[in-house]
Structure 1
Amino acid sequence: MHRSHPFRFGRLLTGSALLLYSLGAHAFDFKTVGARPVILYDAPSLKGARLYVAPSGMPVEIVLGYGDWVKVRDAGGDVAWTEAKGLSARRNVIVRSAAAKVRATPDEAAPVLMTADKNVLLELVDPDAGPWVRVRHRDGISGYVKTSDVWGL
């Protein structure tokens, strides 16, 4: 019968706890496809298979960096690689509910300025996310939308 040394088990347990803590403490890193569309690949190389083209302004979550390449996740959950130089620090979010109401203030009783359909891009004006975030539509309408109605935070 083989018995594990208690010290090794303790180190394993401590290491696992630290790993879980660091993963939980890591904030999501989002960027936006820059002024030009980017090609998403199945590997971090121009020789990789081309999966699809991401349009300008599309928000992506950075999953991993590898040299000049980043692994990204889109709003649908698909994961692919692209060159980091094609992404912008400017932040957009995408509406994920059927009809997200953009309100004048961060309050359910505030007047509705516009209703944004699913998959509409909104510029993130204030990156501090709470239950509401401040956004701007490309038509210039600026207001607040519920965090739960958008993806990219």
Structure 2
Amino acid sequence: MMAIWRRALVALLLISAAGAALAIDYRSVGAPAAILFDVPSLQGKKLYLIKAQTPVEVIVKLEGWLKVRDAEGTLAWLEARHVAEQRTLVVTSPQAEIRQSDNPDSAILAQLDKWVAVEYIEPASPGWVKVRHRDGVTGYIHSTQVWGL
């Protein structure tokens, strides 16, 4: 009986370690604009242009190229040199509010339209994240209103 519990514990620990190794890697476009390709090559088909500060999820790293996913779920290849370590988030709800504190009843400092990017500062209480808008407004936004976390 004890051996069964030991095996179960080892399996649980291995699963936990694998989960940590599979952490999601979010970054943002650091260049003024970058081209997304269908394959990891400049000779590949150009799919579309992605603007600065757009968050992307890195799926695969391959010799100077990154396979990324955007907020709409599109997968494409991007030259790694165009990606910054800085984390940004993008508003995915029709409108989002930056609030003074991580509370739905706190004062609204700014209202943002869909697809506006904000700088990720740090996590806050569950369901909230601290952000900075390019105009300097710093506050809290509900995590359900943004993508890139």
The TM-score normalised by the length of structure 1 is: 0.82
Identity percentage of aligned residues:
41
Alignment partner, residue 136 of structure 1? 132
1:109 is displaced (CA, Å) by 1.5
Deviates more, 1:119-128 or 1:56-65: 119-128
Match for residue 32 of structure 1 among 28, 35, 39: 28
User: Does 2:41 align with 1:45?
Assistant: yes
Match for residue 108 of structure 1 among 90, 97, 104: 104
Task: Work out whether residues 129 and 147 of structure 1, in 8 Å CA contact, stay in contact via their aligned partners in 2.
Answer: no
Structure number, greater radius of gyration: 1
More strand by share: 2
1:38 is displaced (CA, Å) by 1.0
Unaligned runs of 5+ in 2: 1-13
Alignment partner, residue 147 of structure 2? 151
User: Does 2:68 align with 1:84?
Assistant: no
Alignment partner, residue 7 of structure 1? none
RMSD: 2.2
Cα deviations across residues 47-66 of structure 1 (Å, max 9, x unaligned)?
11111111111110001111
Unaligned runs of 5+ in 1: 1-17
Match for residue 90 of structure 2 among 89, 94, 103: 94
Cα deviations across residues 29-71 of structure 1 (Å, max 9, x unaligned)?
1111013211110001111111111111111000111111110
1:116 is displaced (CA, Å) by 1.0
The 3-state SS of whatever aligns with 2:122 is: coil
Alignment partner, residue 4 of structure 2? none
Distance 2:94 2:101 in 1: 21
